[in-house]
Amino acid sequence: MILRSALRIIDADGVQSLSMRKLAADLGVNPMSIYHHVANKAALLDGVTRLVTDGARHIEVSGGTWQEQLRQLAYEFRTLSLAHSNLIRHAFSVDDVIQRDGPMWRTLCAVLRGAGLPEPEVERTGAVLAVLVGGLLHTEVNGTMRRLIGEGEADDTGFSLAVDLLIDGVAARV
């Protein structure tokens, strides 16, 4: 309940304006009571991040070429990020979004394996793609993308172009 309330405040006003005291007020509780359930503010933010990323535990890529599967996976990650952009913006800046061996990670490696990438390169290429797409989403969530590309285009124009380019890059080594 604490985490959900914190997430509500973050979604509404940003991480910047979440304080233990405001959170307590939102919960109708004494500010100090919170410290009996969460160690400190950093742990609170960590908990909220896990709440959100665990919410996307079930990731499925239906059939299609490996290119379509990669694209689908990237958009899945994007949907997750944009649903709570204020939180994700913070989580990226403290390194807390991409979980190695998480469901996203496993699916990614499976798709790369299916694409015919030689086994010793699967994990490394997976990691590279994960940070590239993660970083890409960070630029979308912090406004850089909109500033550089967004001029009157569809919201996902930049993201889509970038994913195309990454897929071509992977294609060059299968």
Partner DNA sequence: ACCTGAACACCGTTCAAGT
Residue 171 touching a copy of itself (CB under 8 A)? yes
145, with CB counted inside 10 A (0-12, 13-18, 19+), is buried
DSSP assigned state of 35? G
Angle among Cα 63, 120, 73 to the nearest 5 degrees reads: 30
Distance from C-alpha of 8 to C-alpha of 152, rounded to nearest angstrom: 30
Quick check: 36 binds DNA (CB under 7 A)?
yes
Q: Which does 77 bind (CB under 5 to 8 A by kind): DNA, a copy of itself, none?
A: none
| Contact status: 29 vs DNA (CB under 7 A) | yes
Q: Which residue has the tokens 């960070």?
A: 138
Per-residue interface string for the shown chain with a copy of itself, residues 93-132, x marking contact by CB under 8 A:
xxx-xx-x-----------------------xx-xxxxxx
Q: Per rule CB under 7 A, is residue 33 in the interface with DNA? A: yes
Q: What minimum distance in Å lies between the beta carbon of 152 and a copy of itself?
A: 13
